[in-house]
Copies of this chain bind each other. A is one copy, B any other.
Amino acid sequence: MPREALWSAIAATLRAEIAEGAYAPGARLPTEAELSARFGVNRHTLRRALSDLANAGLVVSRRGSGVFVATRPTDYQLGRRVRFHQNVTASGRTPSRRISRLETRPARPEEAEVLDLQEGAAVHVIEGVSLADGLPLAAFQSVFPADRFPGLLAAMEGQSSVTAALTACGLTDYTRKETRLKAKLADPVLALALQVQPGTPVLRSVAVNVDAAGSAIEYGTTWFAGDRVTLMVSPDQP
């Protein structure tokens, strides 16, 4: 009977340390060179162990960067009134946003239709990435009618909460009217923004938000990193 293979024992050790919290989710493991020195094995043997962990979905390795502890998939509640920050804090993490684009441009036909605008009317576009504990969870693009919120982009300067900016523009409340979901593959640009491998699955959510009066005020698209987020669709509350 063959005794336990070295790589297997090493994998078990690392597994236990990850489980004990020695390496937090999202954290980088020591380099392969350091780990192989620590265990006193050749780098190939260590890589065999890492490949076992990666196969089990416990770690993700990125060439040139390192090996990272995989984040357990987050449940992301998709409801009429749930915002990003609540979602992330509810799972015990620290939410943050990185805004990458603020601009005003003519509405595209589809956007104009949804937002009930004339084709070519000006819209504000906000693009960015939402993160939990510094790890990208989703990339988003939101389109707002410019004439309804003239100072929106200015209100976004220096802070990152879209909800707060909308409030500053006089919108007290808004709810999600409809959401369409689709599974896609991340193209290189999206993969970069989400820090995943190109070709990994992504959940694209297209949502329309309406104000209290029921008129559309936001046309938002969100791309969730499929391996980090599980979307929970809850029944609508009236």
Contacts and interface: CB of A to CB of B under 8 A. Distances in A.
A10 B189 contact: yes
Contacts of A39: 100, 189, 192-193
A113 interface: no
A26 interface: no
Given A105-B23, A108-B20, A188 B100 contact: no
Q: From A21, A37, A40, name the one whose CB has the most chain B CB atoms within 10 angstroms.
A: A40
A183 interface: no
A40 B100 contact: yes
A101 interface: yes
Interface string A73-92: 00000000000000000000
Interface residues of A, number: 35
Copies assembled:
2
A41 interface: yes
Interface of A: 3-6, 8-10, 13, 20-23, 30, 37-42, 64, 100-101, 103, 105-106, 108, 120, 127, 187-189, 192-193, 198-199
Contact of A100 (B4, B10, B37, B192): B37
Given A3-B199, A40-B100, A22 B192 contact: no
Nearest to A109: B20
B22 A105 contact: yes
B38 A100 contact: yes
A4 to B, nearest CB: 6
Contacts of A108: 20
